[in-house]
Amino acid sequence: MNQAVRNPAAGGIEDVFRRAVALSRAAEPSLAERRDRLARLRALVVENETRFDEVISADFGNRSRTETLIAETLFVLAEIKHATKNLGRWMAPKHVVTELQYFPAKNKLLPQPLGVVGIIAPWNYPLQLTLAPAVAAIAAGNRVMIKPSELVPRFSALLQKLIAEKFDDTEVTVTGIDGDISERFAALPFDHLIFTGSTRVGRLVAEAAGRNLTPVTLELGGKSPAIIDRSADINEAAERIVYGKLMNAGQTCIAPDYVLIAHGNMDEFVARANSAVARMFGTSPDNKDYTSIVSDKHYARLESLVQDAAARGGKIVQPASADNPAWKAQRKFPPTFISGATTDMKVMQEEIFGPILPVFACDTTEAAIAHINANDRPLALYWFGKDDAARDQVLARTVSGGVTINDCLFHFVQANQPMGGVGASGTGAYHGEWGFRTLSKMKPVFYRSPFNRLADLYPPYGSRIARLIKLLRFMS
């Protein structure tokens, strides 16, 4: 599957959008209809698991089949199962406490679909980060339009074909990736727009959405630190950080981006981490469990980061140079540690998004907190150690999208926890009920009782109103 992914022909995406809007305003899908759409989405994934695996691997050059299964296929299926199981409860009106002065009236929150939700998907986890937001949108009763990434054309073409076979284009549609589709898509006046990608592009998407006052959920990235406290088991921390870093060859928005560790423990950490790399992935680029970098452009950017770090005095530890023909031919970037990283290195100034791990000397918890707070708020933060007081100090004095303690990545897969960034790492959240809430209008409704007189504050004002105001003042 390598054909071009073309945009809807009949009037283009604007026509599909107009029809979807009209239908979304005409009727709200029932619980049964939403469950049916989720069931069709689940069937699409289950029936085409091998095909998705093949096209994603082909788009990357090599993508670990096990990582695709764990991080994409099973994740999406779990999201669908969780939403299907809990959807009836999520959709039910929520009773809200009514203040005494308005008794015996009542308040309720009625969840309603927003309408049409747009999803601009990334390339790094194309199945997961395309369909997980779609699950939330469908569960909330919305119609969905998806713009996939041009960096994974085989996957995008397959998804477009399969969605068209399972769904009417006003239920769920996948656009093409050719021409000016990105700009046209972002310019549509969606009822909500979800974007996953870089902070730089996120700003452009937010700007385009702002012209329509379209609310956005931005899942971005940034430099997510891993703090190794003096109380940590360095061998355990090294192994878990290596796993979190090298999944998908570091092309993960919540991957640990750099390590903060006491200067005296730096060499031991790098040695332990290097040994963990050898155990997990070996030292050959032929290992199918190790994923390729998605494009030559991305590979060259990673090379330049390492070269800059070396020129600025960083100690480079890797099984082979990035320009080694055996690695470069497969676009597999050697796992790389930069010992003694400094703030003037480019690798410490921008999100890496690859298998490079700078190790930065930071001798105290106070210094680690100061370093993190001097920069943009990260999408994720990881802390390793046994000192509860030091852990709680970091949690209390730093702000990040999410945290995993004594491991990496696992906060992301908690179905009952929200996933979202803060500041430059994103805005808004989804997953499970949080996604349902984000993509619903929680409409407050006040049901007045005929026995309540405190709402009768109509003019002409006089002594009666004065008595009511006196009572309201007392009850307030």
Tens-digit pLDDT profile for residues 424-445: 999 999 999 999 999 999 999 9
Tell me the mean pLDDT in the region 41-45: 98
Tell me the mean pLDDT in the region 13-26: 96
Q: CATH second-level architecture of 13-220+427-442?
A: 3-Layer(aba) Sandwich (3.40)
Helix/strand/coil percentages in the chain, nearest 5: 45, 15, 35
Residue 116: φ, ψ to 5°:
-120, 125
pLDDT at residue 118 tops 90: yes
- The pLDDT score that the predictor gives to residue 120 is 97
Q: Where in the chain is the domain with CATH 3.40.605.10?
A: 13-220+427-442
pLDDT at residue 1 tops 50: no
Where b means 16+ CB within 10 Å and e means fewer, 180-192 reads: ebbebbbebebbb
pLDDT in tens, 168-196: 999 999 999 998 999 999 999 999 999 99
| Superfamily classification of domain 225-414 | Aldehyde Dehydrogenase; Chain A, domain 2 (3.40.309.10)
Q: Three-state DSSP class for 145?
A: strand
Beta strands 106-113; 94-96: pairing state: antiparallel
Question: In 3D, which of 257, 439, 441 has the Cα closest to residue 351?
Answer: 257
Catalytic (active-site) positions: 219, 253
pLDDT at residue 11 tops 80: no
- pLDDT, mean over the chain: 94
- The pLDDT score that the predictor gives to residue 10 is 40
Q: Which amino acid is at 374?
A: A
> How far is it, in rounded angstroms, from Cα 202 to Cα 217?
10
Task: Give percent of the chain with pLDDT exceeding 90.
Answer: 89
- The pLDDT score that the predictor gives to residue 474 is 82
- The pLDDT score that the predictor gives to residue 31 is 98
Element containing residue 415 per DSSP (H, E): none
pLDDT in tens, 372-394: 999 999 999 999 999 999 999 99
> How far is it, in rounded angstroms, from Cα 134 to Cα 137?
5
- The pLDDT score that the predictor gives to residue 4 is 52
Place of tokens 């680690």: 368
Q: Where in the chain is the domain with CATH 3.40.309.10?
A: 225-414
Q: Kindly state the tokens that stand for 152.
A: 């994974």
pLDDT at residue 452 tops 80: no
- The pLDDT score that the predictor gives to residue 375 is 96
